[in-house]
Amino acid sequence: MIKVINGDITKLTVDAIVNAANSSCLGGGGVDGAIHKAGGPEILKECRKIIEKIRYLQPGNAVITTGGNLPAKFVIHTVGPVWKGGNFREEFILKSAYLSALKLADQKNIKTIAFPNISTGIFGFPKYIAAEIAIDTVRNYLKNPTNIEEVIFVCFDEENYRIYKELLAL
């Protein structure tokens, strides 16, 4: 049920890919920039509508849009924490980001979902701890009855890929 790959999340043919967005939900750099670039303007259009309603996407929460021109049907946008040394509920917020995305996917009957390594780029979360939280949260979630059949962790650098393989004992 859990897989890890090293590659570009925008290329995956899955039901949903997760975006490591920011609270504006209107695009940015990193994987967020790559998803909006590859997915086209439909994603941004839906993000704007959502933001009109909710004002901003709180760290740890998640929303869903079309996948636009992506091979993925949907994009689930979540916001991880900015790493500020570890005393600002960063671990809790990261766990919430994964959990919110999983719950939303489940509600939408999404069967295959791919996650980037949320917060470990521009937001500076230590990679090893982030991977432990990501894997732990997904494993625990999948222990209960769910519509989700496959979760793919998509790494974009060798270090994260090595850490995930080690933690998943692959």
- Residues 75-134 close enough to bind ligand AR6 by CB under 6 A: 80, 116-123
C-beta closer to ligand AR6: residue 128 or 146 = 128
* Least Cβ distance, residue 129 to ligand AR6 (angstroms): 13
- Is residue 38 within 8 A of residue 70, CB to CB? The reply is yes
Q: Please tell me whether residue 153 adopts helix, strand or coil conformation.
A: strand
136 carries an active-site annotation: no
Q: Which is nearer to ligand AR6, 30 or 40 (CB)?
A: 30
18 neighbors 118 (Cβ within 8 angstroms):
yes
Q: Please, what is the minimum distance in Å from the beta carbon of residue 157 to ligand AR6?
A: 5
Query: Using CB under 6 A, which of 100, 112, 137, 160 touches ligand AR6?
Result: 160
C-alpha span between 75 and 73 (Å, rounded): 7
Q: How far apart are CA 32 and CA 37, in angstroms?
A: 9
Told to check if 31 binds ligand AR6 by CB under 6 A, we report yes
Residue 7 vs residues 11, 44, 60, 153: alpha-carbon distances, Å: 8, 23, 24, 10
Q: How many residues lie near ligand AR6 (CB under 6 A)?
A: 25
Sole binder of ligand AR6 in the list 30, 128, 165, 168 (CB under 6 A): 30
